[in-house]
Structure 1
Amino acid sequence: MSKKPKAVATMKQLISHLLGFCWLVCFTGTQCFTSDDDMCQYSTTCPSFATCENITTGYHCTCKRGYISSSLEEHFTNPAVKCVVDRCQDSSTCPAFATCENVAGGYHCTCKRGFASSSGKQNFTDPTVKCIDVNECSQDPPVCGPHNQCNNTRGSFTCQCSPGYSSPSGTSWKPGDSHTLDCTENLISCQPRILQRDDFKSLCGNSTQHGNQQNNRFCTFLNETSKTLESACGNGNQSISLKEVSTSIDLLFYATAQQSNGSKEEVALVATIFLQSVESAALATARKSPGNKTQTITGETMTIVAQRVTDNCSRAGKMIELNAENELMSIDCMTVVGAREQGSGVVAFISYATLESILNNNFIDQQNLREDVKLGSTMLNSKVVSGTIGKPGPLSKPFNFTLEHKQKKEMEDKIICVFWNLTGPWFTEGCRLLRENSTHTTCTCNHLSSFAILMASHAIKAVL
């Protein structure tokens, strides 16, 4: 039973207080407390679901766990304040990816950054409302800068430099990162991709440029290739024409031809190095050329056509067509510059005069051709060509090439579109026949490499 408050009930007591130091005058029928009272001893001091605590300046009330004050104060003394159920203590009050906030008179839910409510309202209490991921990558203007690719993630997004571009601070960025992403165009390396692999770097010691294994025919070839590429590509940003590099490339071809009497594996490797070297030199030269000018040079061993694209593909569906000695290449402009880029790109198409004599029938394996019929005599029936944009991997859109037959196709002959695999054999994967006649064939491929036309005479029977 709680203790009743002290009441000043007689005139004598009242006078005594007035003559001394008066704290409080209390009239009959009311509750009043003197300064030496323990306020927390009275059950009515704090509301239900609250605890009372005496402090030096008096007391205060605090709502128990699971409750919150109607004034949103942690501690209070106002007798009008109540302790109400804290709805935000229950994790199911708001949907996934939302925060719960207590407000005067109740609560509301708010979707976290990167999410939006299905009702379209910023704050809500409706239990049927969900928080849906916002696809920042579809926003206009784009959330990522120029030469960036946007990748939407749950509740956020990342920006990544487009192929052929890089940033000093790294190649990706996400909200909250302290660094910025300033993607600039990479200079194309003149070194063939295959020689950048660690196993080839160690093949001839620490450097292929110093001729540290002159007795090794292959390493000697690598030395000559490296020197030739240095001459072909030049230094810095100085403009170089394809005409200036054609002599060096011809010398590289002759060095390659000298290796053709080696083993099948050696010839395949040397040919791959040669093909990638020519592609790299052509791209590096085109990268340094001004404007959208197409450069064409015909040398003793090949014809190179290269173009730099700087107009951001002025219209949708624009095709870039290159003609090298009546061999044709057609590629979508956006494939060259990148689908979301505001910048430029380069493309090169090379037709080799006699390379098919090196990459000959010895490198045709019918198991790699994936044909549903058993083929008769099979031969290379075109020049070897290369197409490159300096970016590895599958293309956003297939490209087409048209090659002239070295030997007229007869009705019963079968045409096969093939590409040169790094390890040697001719493969068909990713390429298919688009159209043909007796003198020309058009193929379409979803990747870039070096290509040729095979002709098989007399497909003799179905493979069981």
Structure 2
Amino acid sequence: MWFGKTLLILGVACVMWKSVFGCNAGFAVNGSDCIDMNECDNASALCGNHSRCLNTNGSFFCECLPGYRNRNGKSSFTTDGQCRDINECTDNTKICGPFAKCKNMMGSYNCTCKFGYVKINSSNAGPCEDIDECTKAKNEAICGKEGSCRNTNGSYWCECSEGYTNYGNERTPCSELNCERFSADSRHAQSLLDLADILSMMKNSCLALSGSITSGEGKSEGDALLEKLLTAADSILSPGPLDSSEGVSGLLSTVENSILLIGPQLKHNITKIETAETDAQIAIQRGRTPPTGPIYLTNENAALSTDWKTAAGTGTYPGFALAALLSYKNLEGSVNGSFEELKEDENDDMSFQIFSKVVSVVVSNPSTQNLSHNVTITLRHLQEIKESPELSYICAYWKEKGAWSTDGCHQQQSNATHTVCTCKHLSSFAVLMALYPMEPDFGLLVVTKIGLVISLLCLILSILTFKFCRSIQGTRNTIHLHLCICLFVADLIFLVGISQTTPEGGCKFVAAMLHLFFLGVFTWMLLEGVQLYRMVVLVFNATIRPLYLYVTGYGTPLVIVIISAIIRPNGYGTDRHCWLSSDLIWSFFGPVCFIIILNVFFFIITVWKLAQKFTSLNPDLSKLHKIKAFTVTAIAQMCVLGLMWVFGAFLFQKGLTPVEYIFTILNSLQGALVFIMHCLLSKQVREEYINILCTPQMKKRSDFSSTNPSSSQSQLQRAMLVINEETLE
């Protein structure tokens, strides 16, 4: 009894104790019991990131996740958490094995196999083993038809048969060698005896590569061999021009073939070397896949622009691609001939001259005679020369048989210093200056001088007429006067100074004055067209203030000449004439074309309006007379407005002699045409001339004949007077 009572008392005491004092730490009251609390319900607050919480009876502890470590180095903790990443790659340098690279990651690491190795399993941390390339790949595909694959630890190398090589690049397919192209018994070597030493040196180098077993060690000294090649070429070129085209062809082809052999042996991707007679730049790209991207090689005398796809070709890729630009500094003297084929294609009377350094372009693409894309070669001229219609630049290449040809090459653009050529095949190139036989046409010269003298005399009469004839004073008379003044000065300067090319300063002044006054002629012609339009179409308010006429007629040409002289001061004067050079000629033809277009517009409108006026003439006037009058007036308008200059556009084409004569006659006699149209065909001017020149008896006879014509003649004269008054006055 007493034991049970004791237990009851203790139980009541415990309940009273828990209710008064609570449970122990880590426990919670649950009725009459104390139960364990799960502190891990708030694990992130207790343990921090990259950790996990483990609950215990009445307590808990924290552990870092795999790949992380407590900052104090403890394996478990309840405070001072902060689990930090473990760098497995530094803690254990052998964690990935000897054939892989370790890369640390947050909470982990990754093993990447080195080239030639593969992971045994798919896990990131798995070890790597050697790849047997010679087993997994067909021997022919990896080393070529004449190569044997030899596996090594982490790699492989190719063993080439006799007559094949991989140029010391162990993982390159074997390429066929053609050592016989360096034969010292060839016709080229016989025509140029010193060439035999180069051929012998290159053949020995070629045979040394044939069938060689290489593993990437002891590669051929390509740089030293290239230097020997160019030094040997210098010994051939330095004495002076070569005697025969056969020798030139032999040297060029030997050097090109040698660069193809040496290039893959060079150590660097870009190699530049300059000697006394040559300047070479060679670019090399190596790799298991064909390279891509642009290629730009340049030296002092030339530049090459192409791409690696063109240089490598589209066939079997041998593991490398090559592009080279080689410039010969003094070879042009040896090849400044052999133009027979060009004369057959162009013109027998033309003369040719080498006008750039000779350059050779070499690529590893075996199909150089039919490239997939054209290559662009920029060649610098031997000297700067002003452009002239008597010369042109031709892009040519040196054929194996020893002659220049243009097949497959054409000029893209040229200026005074450079010519850009595009070619669809490769060889040795140069720019040729073609000189056209531009002997003066004696007939044109005589016609020009006679026509100008006649025009000057007629212009003097016209200027005096417009200045002192009171009955025709007005806006149109002012325009005619200053048109004649500009044309007179231009024709006089042209007659006296067009061929006086020395001194240079005087020639430039003559060219500038011709530019100014010929533009002035066309500007006043434009004002003539505007005035005709206003008179025929507007009828009223047709007068233009003289100040506006002077500013337009002289100011516009002056502004154009000043701007042209500032932009291109060397554009005035050429080697043969004191006129504008080709790079400045459009400062004249541009305004001229603009004025002619405007005058054509005015001419069409004027003729249309005049045609309407013809229909209102006397109905007794026959249709034939109407057409005749209309035609005469139209031709007069065309001549006055300067539309005959349209013939000048055809002078850019060769072989149009009739057009040249038409243009020369019309323009040299323009002063005479102005005198006829505006003076002799003007009623008021004729009356003034009669008053000045005729006696009283002649005046009466003229008056009597004018008052008693036949009926048809009277009608025709009245019609012509109406036409003259409406169109020319």
Which one scores higher on RCO, CA 8 angstroms, separation ≥ 6? Answer: 1
Whose radius of gyration is greater, 1 or 2?
2
For normalisation by structure 2, the TM-score amounts to 0.33
Structure number with higher helix proportion: 2
Structure number with higher strand proportion: 1
For normalisation by structure 1, the TM-score amounts to 0.50
